[in-house]
Structure 1
């Protein structure tokens, strides 16, 4: 047989109804799909359209896997099964999904096609032929026309386990209600609230369009990849889709500018320090600390002395001043040279430019980090600030933890990062946001001035 090719669009769209077998009320999708797509690409379309994360193995078959075949004229027809190439070595009878197109298999005469995802949970999808129509020029090669309800949660135990989960979530008196609620929230993640009845058709079609992009002139990519796009492109396909949907609703297209008075108020701690250091620099103590008089002055003039217990005259024992000076060093405003604290050339230019300093700090929070893991954590934190959906530090921490896992960060043994590890990765960005007033209450870590904070986060993510 001649090998199928998927280099470009065919001339016909297949309309097919996809139903998750056993779901009641039904989880279904009505799709229009280019008949020339090979089954490996159809797999990608189904993952996006139904809403799976592509964590598990899959296969296609022309026979319901859970229905026993009957003999016809004494002969039992052998079912055909199409699998990814990496599963071909497990069986001599399977067919490569890359060699067959949807139009070759799903026809008015063929009967339904079945797609199984996750051989453990056994999610069976019934694909039924519903008609054909021409594929207009420049039309999408896959489109979701209609549907109902989101995909079940991954690893929820098959269709029976999923409905047991929904029953427990709906019953506050269920003995496992709280534990299962926490599991469902963690599994769904921070980028989409778990709602069994939710389906965003526009978001699905956005992702389907990205699967088959129109070629750019000369084969070149247009534009420059943003920081958030770069994060998305490093994630597994399933989570990438959820992350991009979250980005579209996160308000990143809002204003990324600030009024002069607001900039001066937000950058006040950094302005005070850079101006106090001055163009001539500031002598440090023999141990390399800020002089006691300067520490007392900082605590008084920045309004931090009111809530501080102690003399507030030694930098090593006065946490707010220590954090400010170390943050200013990390962000590229000051540095130590031969027993003196001196301004960088950038800081000298910004001594009388609060708005410029505000933008400089936004760029520094996004880009100046000691390790790539700290950079990713900072960008995920900035995204949550821009989205303004979290109200407590625990929510920020959980969202960043989930994002770091999606980006592949783990312990050396492959385990998920513990909250204290994620907290340590966020220390530098957290200190900067505290000093800027985006977070207040240094020990409760609650969002403070939300709108200016959102604008700052947008400026950082656009830098």
Structure 2
């Protein structure tokens, strides 16, 4: 028999392979068609995507179940073959490099099953059985998911036994550990993919597999510049990228990124009032560098903020809404402070009578004007959450953004995960701007934030900029 090198043309032969997680009951399984010439390191990537793992642990392939004791046949115990990635190959003289072997060389008719182990601690064993071969048309995808059932277990849930114990505790409100397990599941699953043990989206999996093996025509027609969301997606580790991409799709980013003229005027009203009050000639500040008391009172009255404010509302340093509006307008590029005066930028002068243009300007500035990269990433993740419109409280936004920052590789100076309280500081400016625009309706974060369609449209416009 002629042995084909890994990656060599397969002669358009597809292997129909059933993949089952050993010990799962009801079974967690997938039925795949896979190009027989696919190298085993790519088969690893396929299994991660098809089953739904996050590729955060070690793995190996063997032709004998690693947890079954071998028996002697005629006094001889056959040593299993084991295929491993390069970083494990360095620790053994007996293992085989997975990059040098194709699936069709190992999984052949009559060869018996192949076993894939993921996470040597939890020991998730996958049984790969060949159920047939089919000739492939020239336009056939190299990998395709035909059928399957149930999502992958949660990472680090303690192996198949620990996972089912977790499901039992999760399903029983009276279980001693129910609340702790609920919290752990929410934290582990993250904000981009709700945890439903029975869920499997075959179309979404095949979309991901198609991205792994793009056709030549797809490469030829690739877009030029990279969008903000695509740039974020590319920086997220592949195991989480699948979940993030699904969340982007669910967020409806292809929806309208504009609003009616009266809506843009209402949303930009605070910034319009301030820029018009400063005017083309500018506005003198007090000797201490604050807005004049009369202007502060006027702002609180004209913007209908005085009814919710305790105090005289005539000193900017003691009237937080006006101070935050002025600082926000400076950060977003509408005004600047020059020699004791506030002056409009050239963009602000052009937009004094153009609320729709100002709305778009603020959306672009919101996405692109930041003091440092961590603030930028946090703001883009916040915009995604606003566009999705699923969060109901500011603390939920902070938790979701903290998860996203961790996925993007951000850590504290001591190397620990970014906590929501740290995200609060990163998003302070963004929060103020969203409150000014009416996207969030609670300046002091005391009640739920139900983002409405105009706010979602603003977030989409910012992410498209």
Offset at residue 451 of structure 1 (A): 0.8
Equivalences for residues 348-427 of structure 1 within 5 A? 348-427=349-428
What is the CA-CA distance between 1:289 and the residue it aligns to? Answer: 1.1
Structure 1 position 270 matched with structure 2 position 306: no
1:455 Cα shift?
A: 0.6
Shift of 1:446: 3.3
Quickly say closer, same or farther: Cα 1:166–1:263, change in 2 above 3 A: same
| Equivalent residue, structure 2, for 1:182 | 183
Kindly indicate whether the alpha-carbon contact (under 8 Å) linking 2:389 and 2:451 is maintained by their aligned counterparts in 1: no
Separation (CA, whole Å) in 2 of partners of 1:161 and 1:354:
57
Conserved 8 A contact 1:439-1:445:
no
Corresponding residue SS for 1:439? coil
Distance 1:72 1:397 in 2: 60
Match of 2:335 in 1: 334
| 2:195 corresponds to | 194
Are the counterparts in 1 of residues 32 and 145 from structure 2 also a CA contact under 8 Å? yes
Q: Name which of structure 1's ranges 181-190 and 388-397 shifts more when overlaid on structure 2.
A: 388-397
Q: CA–CA distance in 2 between the matches of 1:450 and 1:218?
A: 38
Q: Distance in 2 between matches of 1:28 and 1:113?
A: 15
User: Which residue in 1 is equivalent to 2:234?
Assistant: 233
Change (3 A) 1:141 1:432: same
- Please name the residue that 2:76 is paired with: 75
Cross-structure match for 1:58: 59
Q: Where does residue 210 of structure 1 map in the other structure?
A: 211
1:38 maps to 2:39: yes
In structure 2, the partner of 1:300 is 301
After TM superposition, the structure 1 stretch with the greater mean CA deviation from structure 2, 325-334 or 8-17, is 8-17
* Aligned pairs for 1:418-457 within 5 A: 418-443=419-444, 444=446, 446-448=448-450, 450-457=452-459
Alignment partner, residue 348 of structure 2 = 347
Q: Hey, what's the Cα distance between the residues in 2 that align with 1:457 and 1:10?
A: 48
Following TM superposition, the consecutive aligned residue runs of length 4 or more in structure 1 with deviations greater than 4 angstroms are 7-10, 216-220
2: distance between equivalents of 1:216 and 1:315?
A: 60
Write the distance in 2 (CA, Å) between the matches of 1:432 and 1:302: 15
Q: 2:254: which partner in 1?
A: 253
- Distance (whole Å) between structure 2 residues aligned to residue 432 and residue 299 of structure 1: 17
* Contiguous gaps of at least 5 residues in structure 1: none
> 2:330 touches 2:336 (CA, 8 Å); kept in 1?
yes
Alignment deviations for residues 13-60 of structure 1 (CA, whole Å, 9 cap, x no partner): 100000000000000000000100000000000000000000000000
- Where in structure 2 are the equivalents of 1:134-213 lying within 5 Å? 134-213=135-214
Structure 1: how far apart are the matches of 2:271 and 2:176? 52
Q: 1:360 to 1:58 in 2, by over 3 A?
A: same
2:290 is aligned with 1:285: no
Verify the 8 A CA contact 1:3 1:99 in the aligned structure 2. no
- Alpha-carbon distance between aligned partners in 2 of 1:453 and 1:4, rounded to the nearest angstrom: 55
Spell out, residue by residue over 1:307-344, the C-alpha distance to the aligned partner (whole angstroms, 9 max, x if none).
10111111111100011000000000000011110000
Partner of 2:243: 242
Deviation of residue 406 (structure 1)? 0.6
Structure 1 residues 332 and 7, CA gap change in structure 2 (3 angstroms): farther
Please report how far the alpha carbon of residue 175 of structure 1 lies from its aligned counterpart in structure 2 after TM superposition: 1.1
- Alignment partner of 1:447: what SS? coil
How far off is 1:248 after superposition?
Answer: 1.0
Match of 1:458 in 2: 460
C-alpha contact (below 8 Å) 1:121/1:157 kept by paired residues: yes
Correspondence 1:92-131 to 2 at 5 A = 92-131=93-132
Q: CA deviation at 1:112?
A: 0.2
CA contact (8 A) 2:4 2:105 kept: no
Is 2:49–2:208's contact at 8 Å kept on the other side of the alignment?
yes
Instruction: Please list the CA deviations of residues 111-159 of structure 1 after superposition, one character each: whole Å capped at 9, or x if unmatched.
Output: 0000000000000000000101112112211110000000000000000
Q: Does the residue aligned with 1:429 lie in a helix, a strand or coil?
A: helix
Cross-structure match for 2:15: 14
Q: Using the alignment, how far apart are the partners of 1:184 and 1:400 within structure 2? A: 17
CA distance in 1, matches of 2:7, 2:227: 30
Q: SS at 1:446's partner residue?
A: coil
For residues 4 and 319 of structure 1, the distance between their equivalents in structure 2, rounded to whole angstroms, comes to 69
* Cα-to-partner distance string for 1:268-312 (whole Å, 9 max, x where unaligned): 000000000100000011121111111111011000100101111
Task: Say if 1:271 and 1:354, in contact at 8 Å, map to a contact too.
Answer: yes
Contact 1:57 1:118 in 2 (8 A): yes
Indicate the SS of the match to 2:83.
strand
Q: Which stretch of the first structure deviates more once superposed, 133-142 or 230-239?
A: 133-142
Residues 1:248 and 1:3: Cα distance change in structure 2 (over 3 Å): same
Determine the C-alpha separation between the residues in 1 that align with 2:91 and 2:3. 23
Deviation digits for residues 182-207 of structure 1 (CA, Å, limit 9, x no counterpart): 10011001111101100010110000
CA RMSD of aligned residues (A): 1.5
Aligned partner of residue 134 in structure 2, secondary structure: strand
Task: State the Cα deviation string for residues 330-360 of structure 1 (Å, max 9, x = none).
Answer: 0000000111100000000000000000000
